[in-house]
Structure 1
Amino acid sequence: MKYVTYLKYLGVASAVLYLSACGGNEEEQTESENDVQEESSGEENQNSGDAESTDDAEASEEAPLVTEEDIYNEESILALANKSNFLGEEYVPADMIPVNVPVVFDNPETNQLREPAANALMDLFAEAESEGYTLYARSGYRSYNTQVGLYNNYVANHGQEEADRFSAQPGSSEHQTGLAMDVTSESVNLELSEAFGETDEGTWVRENAHRFGFIIRYPDGYEDITGYMYEPWHLRYLGEEVASDVYESGLTYEEYIKESGIEINEE
């Protein structure tokens, strides 16, 4: 009797082993399949998350560096000042400091810029000097009232049509932003001359200004777009990122703003 019982025991054990070898019962098998499905679903969700992150990153990379709020905000370093976009008569930048660079005139008003632009100009001048090019600052910030006097004088001497080619009407001058500086060199007798663009100093400025956050605001051949004749001496601070992007695009600032999808006022 003990031997028969033992055989029965072996039969039950074998059956259990057989079932185990075949994958267990249906409940265990279903749980296993669910686990696989959950892992697969988790991988899909992770891949979906990765795709969404990539899309977000690409969208971020494609986002314009200039916004409409920037160009119509007087306090923004990206503010647009031209013949169709005027600054307020009372606007005076709050963060101006003297520029610690060689200057042409001993004029406290014009020898200053907004702090980020002033610091960047000092770095630009220092880099130019280290490479053998000596630059001079001739005219930086100009108040609304100062521009009134300059513009009226040019109109009286040249007529309004000609004056408008090289002098801004009060309120439309970039100099009032505190972000523009006219630079020159001894090679053009410290004057503001188109010839500056062909000098060694002018060439260096044109090729390197963007590295310090500046652009040549009124390039040659774009008077119909910028509203002003060629001024290789007129530097406008936009910050390194935007200035480099404008430089690499080969566009004027007006064109660059339009390429960013912003409608701007035009004459």
Structure 2
Amino acid sequence: MPLVTYFMNNDYLGILVNKTHSLPEDYVPADLIPVNIPFAHVGDDSRNYMRRPAARALETMFRDAEAAGLHPIGVSGFRSYERQKNIYTSNLAVKGEMHTSLYSARPGQSEHQTGLAMDISSPSVQSALTANVENTPEGRWLRQNAAAYGFTLRYPAGKEHITGYAYEPWHFRYVGKNLAAFLKKEGLTLEEYYQLLAL
């Protein structure tokens, strides 16, 4: 499959969505399902949904983390274009453009709209999405093990100039086991991976 098709195929697990590669306003994955893990949001909330392959992999990852005595908590999975628009607009009004551009995607530019991303926190930080997640037992375990389940830490420290976003130790993106293992081994972001493919 040509590289350009990978960029444009919204169903491709390795799709690149960022500040220069957007999803259509009406895009909603066809295979969204509720994820059976502990969530910060109780009830039937769309944030508790992911695409089927990502959901099943996340459930396995959470079970194994819990078997190791840890208690990861899902905070935010799928977000529609409209929900992201509301988040971005609210953050813009409250936190200003500079902060918002580092932490909040514009509508259509959020990985959450793919149904392949999940923000994960820990009880020791009250399920908050904060840099302190990296120092929790759950955060450390996820950094070490997430790739084995097909997830990559999408916005790593030191790569802000490449991803366009601040370090987010809570944001994990499902890309499948093979690509996740490659990204971890080579220390690459998705942006750098696609740059390699284009060479």
TM-score of the two chains, using structure 2 as the length reference: 0.96
Match of 1:222 in 2: 159
SS in 1 for 2:192: helix
Q: CA deviation at 1:193?
A: 0.8
Q: Which has the larger radius of gyration?
A: 1
Runs of 4+ with deviation above 2 angstroms:
65-68
Match of 1:255 in 2: 192
Q: CA deviation at 1:257?
A: 1.4
- Percent identical: 44
Match of 1:80 in 2: 16
Indicate if the aligned counterparts of 1:104 and 1:190 stay in contact, CA closer than 8 A: yes
Within 5 Å, which residues of 2 pair with 1:4-153?
A: 67-106=3-42, 107-153=44-90
Structure 1 position 237 matched with structure 2 position 178: no
- Using the alignment, how far apart are the partners of 1:195 and 1:162 within structure 2? 18
Indicate if the aligned counterparts of 1:218 and 1:229 stay in contact, CA closer than 8 A: yes
- In structure 2, what residue type is equivalent to 1:247? K
Task: Return 5+ residue gaps in structure 1 as ranges.
Answer: 1-64, 263-267
Q: CA deviation at 1:66?
A: 8.9
What's the C-alpha RMSD, in Å, of the aligned pairs? 1.4
Q: CA deviation at 1:77?
A: 0.9
Aligned residues: 198
- In structure 1, what residue type is equivalent to 2:119? D
- Using the alignment, how far apart are the partners of 2:5 and 2:177 within structure 1? 19
Relative to structure 1, the CA distance from residue 66 to residue 251 in structure 2 (aligned partners, 3 Å threshold; closer, same or farther) is: farther
- Using the alignment, how far apart are the partners of 2:13 and 2:2 within structure 1? 10
Indicate if the aligned counterparts of 1:213 and 1:244 stay in contact, CA closer than 8 A: yes
Task: Return 5+ residue gaps in structure 2 as ranges.
Answer: none
TM-score of the two chains, using structure 1 as the length reference: 0.72
Q: What are the Cα deviations for residues 76-121 of structure 1, in whole angstroms up to 9, with x where unaligned?
A: 1111110001000000000010000000012521000000000000
Indicate if the aligned counterparts of 1:217 and 1:234 stay in contact, CA closer than 8 A: yes
Q: CA deviation at 1:187?
A: 1.3
- In structure 1, what residue type is equivalent to 2:6? D
Structure with the bigger RCO (C-alpha within 8 Å, sep 6+) is: 2
